[in-house]
Structure formats: structure tokens, C-alpha cells
Structure 1
Amino acid sequence: MLRSFRTLLLSLAGACAVLVSTPSWSESNDLLSRIRTNGQITIGTEARYAPFEYIENGKIVGYDADLMQYVLKPLQGVKVDQLDLPFQGLLPGLDAKRFDIVVTAVTINKERLEHFAFTFPVADATTGVLLRSNEPSIKKPEDLNGKIVGTQAGTAQLQAAIALDQKLKAAGGSGLKEIRQYVAFDEAYADLAVGRLDAVAQSLANLGPLMKSRPGVFAIMPETIGPKTYFAWVARKDADSAALVKLFSDGIARANRDGTMKQLQLKWFGTTMDVPAQALTAPAM
């Protein structure tokens, strides 16, 4: 009987030792741990958004691609499986767990922040207005009354165009004649160039490089529309993804502090932009 009691005590002590020394499931089996164990991370991207990301010689290149390589240094040896999808499918695909994180230029806004976890900002996303270079009648937002404005479906730039329409009508104007939505911005640029649109609502960060690549074709309206906004990358808002979001945000903050971000901005945009080195807790839109 004494031996049985001793055996029971030793068994219980051993079990307690295992519980103390073994990490909890949440610590050892979260998304980042599984990525390390499996040796692969799956990333969703829209590779039709130059200069952030686009296809060149069959490879995804751009500002986000270079910054991502820098951020992923702590995951050396982990294979990157990067899926190229239309922008409209990225956030639903993230929800459906088709990929681990979205690395593409996604504007931080209140609606998205309620549902998703954003990394620290990677670039300025404030919305500008692209015009034809031979368009003399549009110099300020009020001049867009009665005009057709194009932008990409499902984007913050679409929200900015809708807000502008409401603002113009509230001020007694006719508002925008039409807001035309496109799957990709390249289609909107083409329609603007041939006169099917009067303007395109797009982030200023994208418009500068576009102007350089097509000199003499386009112009940028001096005033922006909508509030100051920023681009970031997106993950699921749950405990499982928290460590992965922290790894990405830590890398972005490191790039911001050590000058890597500014170097990449000069490389891809031809200019630099001030980007907060922390999370945005209260986006303006």
C-alpha cells in the first residue's frame, strides 16, 4: 500500500514537471510557430499595383517585395509562396485562410481595422487625383462637379471618391457625374488617357512614378482629396496570428529606423515620405 502511494506521488510529480516544462498550445502552435515548423509562409498579393508590386520577367517585384525580403530575414530558410490575386479577393481570401498574411498596399481605415490586424504603416496612402495633361478645366476638387471619376473597386480610393461626391453635393454642387469602378488601376489609366474618364482617384505614392513612366500624358491635381492615410499589410485579427503580425511590424519599424525604408522609397518612388513608426490606433477614415 505504501509502495502504491509512493508510486502515485512520483507519477503526479512527473506529470507536474511535464506541465511546467512544456509550453502551452497557444505558445508553441500559433501561426508563426507552424510557419517555422513547416518551413513555408503563404502570402497574398495583388501584383498589378506598381511601384508597390508588379510582375517583371515572371517575378513579383516592387517596393513591398523588397521591404518584405528585409522583414522576413528572421525567417531564413522559410519558403515564401506568394499568390497573385485581384485586390478584391485578398481580404476575403485572408478571412478564408487561403494565406497567412496579405503583403500588398492596403489602406488602413476604420472599417478594416475593426476586423483585421494591420502591421505598422509602410507608405503614405493619401488620395490624389490624376488628370490628362491637356485638361485645363480641373484645378481643384470643386471642378470635378459633373465629371466622371474612375478608381479601383473595393479600395480606400473608392471611398475617397464617394466622400468627395457627397461633399460636393453638400456644398450645393451637382456632385460627380459617375464613379466608375475598375478591377485594376491600369484599366482606369487607359480610359483616362483616351478621354473615357475625366479623372482617376489614386494614391499620390503611385501617381509620381506613373507620371515619370508616361511623360506628357498625365498631370496631378494640386489638391488631394480625403484625409491623410497610410498603407500597411494585413493579417487576421486573432491570437493565432498575433506573433506573426508582431514579427512583420518589428521588421517594418526596424526598416523605418535604420534608413532602409527611405532607401527603398527613393528606389521605387523617386522620393521619400514620412511614415509613422508605430501602429495607427485612430485612422482618419
Structure 2
Amino acid sequence: MKNLLLPLKKTLLTASLLCAALPQIAQADLLDDIKQKGEIVIATEARYAPFEMLEDGKIVGYGKDILDQILKDLPGVKLTQLDLPFQGILAGLSAKRYDFVATSLTITQKRMDKYAFSYPISTAAIAILKRKGDDRITKPEDMGGMRIGTQAGSSQLTVIENFEKEVLIPQGEGYKSIKHFTDYNEAYAALASRRIDIVPQALPNLAPIVKQRPDMFEIVQPAFGPETYYGWVGRKDADSASLVQFFSDGIEKLQKSGKLAELQQKWFGFTMDLPVGELPTPQH
């Protein structure tokens, strides 16, 4: 009888050991995995000056400077940064092709429903870029009848469409057309060649364009649409929560030290009033 019970005891012992191991499996943590591997893989769209852009084959810009500062708190971890098209960058994150997305994404409710945002890195208030000397447009309400240029899949497109529906059409005239481009550089080129009339875009992106080409472009203010911000994103799951918080903590640290304002002055020529230590509720 004693011999017959031995296999049963071994089976029960094995089962209890497996059960004890299950909670550890469930508590997998992406940030810990990154530290153990010694590598973090981050996706960026490097065609969004001055946030992210290519210079001599390397990614540079405001976002890259922030990233480098934050990753100082992950000593021994190598950064692998991928330059990818904007249109598929979030789908790739969901498919776990990389750990995190550090590119300028407008914080919207629709995106927050699917992804976990970091604290804001910049304002995303939308102003209007026009050709210098084009007196047809002096304020956002003058966009009626204009040919608009924007990036396909951008959140700015939603703001532009809502402004047409809520303001322009009630006052008499919507846009003449909306042209969708792969990236904003194509839209700026189309504006310069008179194929479109204006490019509504986030003010931080427009300021350097005008600084580089003051003979060609100028900005129409005030900004229009809801108050918006740019942030970075990770997957919205328990595995990624600590990594997203790591980046939020890093952004907050840079804000409080004054380093973030220093980088804003470097890349935009002005500083921004951003929420500190919190993720604002999107207005759209």
C-alpha cells in the first residue's frame, strides 16, 4: 500500500510546484525583460521635423534628445531605434514587433482606448502654414474654399474635418479639397509649388519650417481646435505598464529639472506650458 501511494505523492508534489510557478509566469514584466536582454527596441517615424528627422543617416531631433536623456536611467541597455512609416507604426506595436513607440502622437481618446500614453512631451495646438504674402487667409475662419494638405492617418485630419463641420460650413463654405500625403514634407513641397493653399499642422512643427524658409512660408494664428498634446505610447497591458511609467517618470524628471524647456528652446525657439506629472484628458 505504501508503494502504491508513492507515485501519487510525487504527482501531487509536481502539481503543487507547477501551481506555485504560475503566478511568476503571469507577472512577466517588459521593463525587466529589457534590462535582462540589455536592449530596447523603439519605433519612430523620422520624418516629422523637428521632433524626429534624419541627418546623415541618423535619427535626430527634439524627441531623440528626450529619449537619450531618459535612457541614461537604463545603464547597460542598448537602444535599437527603427525608422518606420507613420501609417503602420501603431499596428506594429500591437503586433509586438518592438517594445515602445517614441514618435510624436497626438493624445486622443480613440488612441487612449487602445494604447497607453506617456506624459506629454509637447503641445500639439494646430496653426496654419501658408505661402508668404497670401492675404486670402488671416485667421482659421478663412479656410473655407481652400485646398488643404495633411498627412494621411494623422489626428490633425480629425480636427480639420471637425472645424469644417462646426465652423466653416455653418458660415457658408467648406474646404475646396483635402489632399492626403504620406508625410508632411510632401505637403510643404506641394504648398510651395501651389498645388495646395494651406497646411494645418501642430505649431511646434511649423515654427522651424518658417525659420528655415522665411521667404516662402508664414504661420497664421491663433491656433484652432481643442487643446491637444503629443505623447509617446506603449501597449495597453500589464506587461508594458512599468515601461510606459518609466518613460512618463523620465519626462517628468526632465520637466522639473528644466532640461525639457532647454530642449524646447533648442529645437523650437520657444518653451511650452505642459501638464506636469499627469496625462491630460483628451478633448477629442
Q: TM-score, normalised by structure 1?
A: 0.90
Number of the residue aligned with 2:216: 217
* C-alpha distance in 2 between matches for 1:128 and 1:59: 29
Query: What is the 5 A alignment of 1:102-251?
Result: 102-251=101-250
* C-alpha distance in 1 between matches for 2:25 and 2:254: 32
Q: 1:25 aligned to 2:22? A: no
How far off is 1:22 after superposition?
11
Question: 1:161–1:179: 8 Å Cα contact kept in structure 2?
Answer: no
Q: 1:42 aligned to 2:34? A: no
* C-alpha distance in 1 between matches for 2:258 and 2:241: 26
- Aligned-partner residue type, residue 121 of structure 2: V
**Consecutive unaligned residues in structure 1, runs of 5 or more:** 1-11
Q: TM-score, normalised by structure 2?
A: 0.91
* C-alpha distance in 2 between matches for 1:170 and 1:145: 8
How far off is 1:88 after superposition?
0.8
- Aligned-partner residue type, residue 277 of structure 2: Q
SS of 1:69 mapped into structure 2: helix
How far off is 1:75 after superposition?
1.2
Number of the residue aligned with 2:264: 265
* C-alpha distance in 1 between matches for 2:270 and 2:73: 28
CA displacement, residues 53-83 of structure 1 (integer Å, 9 cap, x when unaligned): 1011111000000100111122111111111
Task: Please provide the CA RMSD for this pair.
Answer: 2.5
* C-alpha distance in 1 between matches for 2:280 and 2:189: 37
How far off is 1:86 after superposition?
1.1
CA displacement, residues 208-233 of structure 1 (integer Å, 9 cap, x when unaligned): 11111112211111221211100000
Question: 1:44–1:90: 8 Å Cα contact kept in structure 2?
Answer: yes
* C-alpha distance in 1 between matches for 2:227 and 2:269: 20
Identical amino acids, percent of aligned pairs: 47
How far off is 1:279 after superposition?
2.9
Question: 1:168–1:174: 8 Å Cα contact kept in structure 2?
Answer: no
Q: How many equivalent pairs are there? A: 280
